[in-house]
Each structure stands twice: as structure tokens, then as C-alpha cells.
């Protein structure tokens, strides 16, 4: 975590009438120092080292409060489990950004792409849009390598049957990355 993140955070809380508690500092500190976009459970485990009595329910409650004042945001709708990050300007990833999401291991990476920042919606359907966040989905390098190794083994070992399976997989190829899902 960058020095000053917690000062920024404390000032932001006070500005929004939220008291600056040890719990909030620990939760925000853990989020701001990680680029892993952790789930509430993972965050709970990380913060418990500092605050052993902290319950998961309290982590959720604090995340909700911090989301309301814009210090924390949740990331993408792909996962069954919510994932969070510090979103206060100057903390965490530093500012608004987009995400690369692995559909296999659910890894989330920050994506800074000025071209996406300039996207304008052709038909916002009456919405007053204040930001557009792009979520690019595909396989991360690790999962991609695993899939390719598996596919190579299938093709080598199973002949015709393997071709059919490879073909059905290819129909789900992601156009952006061109990798198999
Ligand atoms: Zn992956
Ligand atoms: Zn992010």
C-alpha cells in the first residue's frame, strides 16, 4: 500500500460522515494494498491476522458502508462470490480502470486502456451514464496454457473423437482473445 492511502481514506470517511474505525482502516488497507480483487471471505482472512475477533458479517457490513461512500467498489458480475477493490482515486489501482477476467480460475486483472475510457454509448436509453467499465473475459495465461496442453494431449491420444470435442469447444471461442474457454 502506498503511504498516504490511509490518510486519504480517513479524510474521505470524515467528509462523508463515516467514523474512521480500526476495522475500516484494516479492511481498506488490505484492499488498497492488493491488486487481486479479493472476495469478502479472502479479505476477512487477511484482516483477521490483525483483528482476530473480526467477523465475516462485520466485513460485509463495512464493505457495504464503504461502497456507499465510493471508497470501495465491487468488481464484475461473472462470479457467484462478490469481489472487491479500493476505488478511492489515488489508492489501489490509482483511478478508474477496466478488468480482464479469467472465466476459468476467476482471476481478475486491472486493465488500463485509454481507448476504453473514451467509449461513448450510442443508445444509453435515457440513462445518465457517468462511467463505462469494460470487462474483457477469456483465459488467463496459466489457464490458457493448461487448456492448450490438454487439447494437445486429446488430439494426440484420441483421434477422431477428440476432433469433435475440440470443434464444440471452438464454438465458444472468445472473439477478443481467440482462446478457448
Ligand atoms: Zn485462469
Ligand atoms: Zn480493478
DSSP letter, residue 101: E
Ligand 2 centroid to Cα of residue 100, in Å, is 9
Ligand 2 centroid to Cα of residue 95, in Å, is 9
Ligand 2 centroid to Cα of residue 45, in Å, is 20
Q: What number of CA atoms fall less than 13 Å from residue 41's CA on the CB side? A: 3
CA 104 to chain centre: 14
Ligand 2 centroid to Cα of residue 158, in Å, is 41
Ligand nearest to the CA of 102: 1
Instruction: Of 119, 126, 15, give the one whose Cα is nearest residue 68.
Output: 15
Instruction: Of 65, 67, 72, give the one whose Cα is nearest residue 86.
Output: 72
Provide the residue-wise pLDDT of the chain in tens; the chain has 181 residues: 677 899 999 999 999 999 999 999 999 999 999 889 999 999 999 999 999 999 999 999 999 999 999 999 988 656 677 889 998 888 888 888 999 999 889 899 999 998 988 888 999 999 999 888 898 989 999 999 999 999 999 888 765 554 444 444 444 444 444 444 3
Q: How many residues can be counted in the chain?
A: 181
Radius of gyration over every alpha carbon of the chain, rounded to an integer in angstroms: 20
Ligand 2 centroid to Cα of residue 159, in Å, is 42
Q: 3-class DSSP state for residue 57?
A: helix
Tell which CATH classification among 1.10.10.10, 3.50.50.60, 3.40.710.10, 2.60.120.650 matches the domain 5-139.
1.10.10.10
Buried b / exposed e over 128-157, threshold 16 CB at 10 Å, is eeeeeeeeeebbbeebbeebeeebeebeee
Nearest-angstrom CA–CA distance, 38 and 92: 12
Ligand nearest to the CA of 95: 2
Helix (H) or strand (E) holding 160: helix 160-170
Ligand nearest to the CA of 140: 1
Domain parsing of the chain, residue ranges: 5-139
Nearest-angstrom CA–CA distance, 115 and 55: 41
Amino acid at each position: 500500500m502506498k503511504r498516504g492511502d490511509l490518510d486519504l481514506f480517513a479524510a474521505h470517511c470524515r467528509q462523508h460522515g463515516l467514523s474512521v474505525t480500526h476495522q475500516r482502516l484494516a479492511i481498506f488497507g488490505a484492499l488498497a494494498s492488493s491488486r487481486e480483487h479479493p472476495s469478502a471471505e479472502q479479505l476477512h482472512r487477511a484482516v483477521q491476522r490483525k483483528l482476530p475477533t473480526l467477523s465475516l458479517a462485520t466485513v460485509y457490513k463495512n464493505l457495504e458502508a464503504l461502497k456507499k461512500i465510493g471508497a470501495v467498489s465491487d468488481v464484475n458480475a461473472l462470479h457467484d462470490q462478490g469481489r472487491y477493490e479500493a476505488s478511492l482515486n489515488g489508492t489501489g489501482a490509482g483511478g478508474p480502470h477496466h478488468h480482464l477476467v479469467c472465466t476459468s480460475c476467476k482471476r481478475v486483472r486491472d486493465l488500463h486502456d485509454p481507448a476504453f475510457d473514451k467509449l461513448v454509448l450510442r443508445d444509453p436509453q435515457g440513462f445518465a451514464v457517468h462511467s463505462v467499465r469494460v470487462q474483457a473475459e477469456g483465459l488467463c495465461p496459466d489457464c490458457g496454457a493448461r487448456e492448450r496442453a490438454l487439447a494437445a494431449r486429446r488430439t494426440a491420444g484420441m483421434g477422431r473423437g477428440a476432433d469433435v470435442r475440440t470443434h464444440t469447444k471452438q464454438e465458444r471461442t472468445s472473439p477478443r482473445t481467440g482462446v478457448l474457454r
